[in-house]
Amino acid sequence: MTILTDKTKQELIQTAKALTASGKGILAADESTTTIQKRFDAIGVESSQESRQAYREMLFTAPGMEQFISGVIMFDETIRQKTSDGALFSKHLASKGVLTGIKVDAGAKPLALSDEREKITEGLDGLRERLAQYKSLGASFAKWRAVIMIGDTIPSKQAINTNAHALARYAALCQEAGIVPIIEPEVLMDGSHTIQRCEEVTTKVLKEVFEELEEQNVFLQGIILKPNMVIAGSECEKQSTSEEVAEASLRCFNKTVPSDVPGIAFLSGGQSDEEATKNLKAINTQKADAPWVLTFSYGRALQQATQKAWAGKNEEVAKAQEVFLKHAKENSEATRG
């Protein structure tokens, strides 16, 4: 049986603390090649290895980004890429005091013998070896995303349990490798469900996730939780106010998230950049004596406007970096309420 040494535990605690440093959040730049192609199609840019490298370099070299960003989650291709002057992205970020993370799941696939809308995230096979390689490339944290859909008859117990179990097995393997796992059980915004239904499902999911983490002996002081905010479905007639989102989210986490967990870094999950920032601010305004740091791990909410400003043009790099830094700063301020 592998037992975490005190030294490894201390390293995990230090990494988790650095990721949740005051006023800082995590940039999710881990879009798969398929996803980044969709983003580039929307701005009329061809997705090639060169254009993806240029785009990521623009983000990572934005002057002063380290004031607002504690870590960057990368895709397999990105962690192997270099800046124009030949430094691995992870080395460049380390020189700014920013940590490198890596997406290690293989994506969500249909869950066998279940409703066709339900998914299970794959990627556990060979994960131990991949983690060792990513560590050698500079990764100190990782991410695994599970997706839970809300519908009239879903999510099923089967979908919640299998995804929670996979998240816990991934987390245990990460910690064995000395890597902090980001646990991302995303209850999707897609659908017409109410905020009350989202709270009910998110509570169930998080309860199951933490039971599984305990079963797998995961060290809670060395993880980051990356959940959805508790929010009405995108097609719900009654949309939630920021105050309602904050109340429901905090009520849910107080019931389910142990105080040992150092930080909760919210995903934006399809919210607009303004909405994600506004809701984060409301949560931090209402948090009272919540035991965790409440911050952000945003992808689209930090990048959508940046991509439009850049549009693949070298002459727009400085302008696009300004847009990126503006959104990063706004979310940094939102973490302070």
Q: Give the E-state strand segments of the chain in sequence order.
A: 25-29, 69-74, 99-103, 108-110, 119-121, 139-148, 180-187, 224-225, 263-266, 293-298
pLDDT in single tens digits along all 337 residues of the chain: 678 999 999 999 999 999 999 999 999 999 999 999 999 999 999 999 999 999 999 999 999 999 999 999 999 999 999 999 999 999 999 999 999 999 999 999 999 999 999 999 999 999 999 999 999 999 999 999 999 999 999 999 999 999 999 999 999 999 999 999 999 999 999 999 999 999 999 999 999 999 999 999 999 999 999 999 999 999 999 999 999 999 999 999 999 999 999 999 999 998 999 999 999 999 999 998 899 999 999 999 999 999 999 999 999 999 999 999 999 999 999 999 9
230 belongs to a structural domain: yes
Q: What's the CA gap between 97 and 215, in Å, rounded?
A: 34
222 belongs to a structural domain: yes
103: annotated active-site residue? no
3-state DSSP assignment of residue 294 = strand
74 belongs to a structural domain: yes
For residue 237, the one-letter residue type is: E
3-state DSSP assignment of residue 26 = strand
For the chain, the domain total comes to 1
320 belongs to a structural domain: yes
Domain of 198, CATH number, reads: 3.20.20.70
314 belongs to a structural domain: yes
193 belongs to a structural domain: yes
29 belongs to a structural domain: yes
Q: Are 295 and 264 in contact (CB under 8 A)?
A: yes
1 belongs to a structural domain: no
Range of the domain at 223: 6-334
Q: Which two tokens stand for residue 57?
A: 């370099």
Catalytic residue among 184, 186, 212, 330: 184
Catalytic residue among 226, 278, 281, 287: 226
Count of CB atoms within 10 A of residue 179's CB? 25
Q: What pTM does this model have?
A: 0.97
226: annotated active-site residue? yes
